[in-house]
Amino acid sequence: MDYSPKVKSAVIRLFEKLARWLALSENAAPALAALFLEKYSTGRRLSSEEISQRTGYSRASTGMILSQLLVSGIITGERDPSQVGRGRKRILYGIDGDVSRLFGTGMIRMLEQLKSIRREILALLQVHENKETVGHLLNDLRENVDESIKCLASLPMLAEHD
């Protein structure tokens, strides 16, 4: 299915926001949008060449973006089973699951960041807990971070992630 430029533009804007939520470069948005639109229109995966054509990005830029998305676990890649013979088989990329999985990934990252902040606060507390003003400030920060972690961790989509 070929989507109108208006629909493509709206989907790219949505994925720009999702990219920010996932702490990714907004340059990843057109690639994510292309994969999303393909998944929901044909169910197919796309090669890096196809993604490059649809986004207007160079093959090198597309490769960098796809590498970032693969490492982040946002997309998956699998060898093209239709290619036979010798040589390197092309990789087909796709988004597994639905968009709610992307939101969940963002929430997991947020939870991990909060836990990292908490570890930093605890390390600072060991050094500064006897200094009244700094210790008080750090304890307040720790309590706020603990409450945020507890709130996020209680969400059903994050129940199995700890």
How does pLDDT run across 21-51, given as a tens digit for each residue? 888 888 999 999 999 999 988 999 999 999 9
Q: What are 19's two structure tokens?
A: 């990219």
The domain ranges of the chain are: 5-97, 100-158
pLDDT digit string (tens) for 38-89? 998 899 999 999 999 999 999 999 999 999 999 988 899 999 888 777 777 8
CA dihedral 133, 139, 143, 148 (to 10 degrees): 80
Q: What is the pTM of this model?
A: 0.70
Distance CA 53, CA 48 (A): 9
Please compute the mean of the pLDDT values over residues 114-124 and round it to a whole number.
Answer: 89
Give 162's pLDDT tier (boundaries 50, 70, 90): low
> 47 in helix, strand or coil?
strand
pLDDT of residue 34: 94
Q: Is 28 exposed, middle or buried (0-12, 13-18, 19+ CB in 10 A)?
A: buried
pLDDT of residue 94: 94
Q: Comparing 12-21, 127-136, 149-158, which segment has the lowest mean pLDDT?
A: 127-136
Q: What is the 3-state secondary structure (H, E, C) of 98-160?
A: CHHHHHHHHHHHHHHHHHHHHHHHHHHHHHHCCCHHHHHHHHHHHHHHHHHHHHHHCCHHHCC
Distance CA 105, CA 158 (A): 9
pLDDT of residue 40: 87
* CATH 1.10.10.10 holds for 5-97: yes
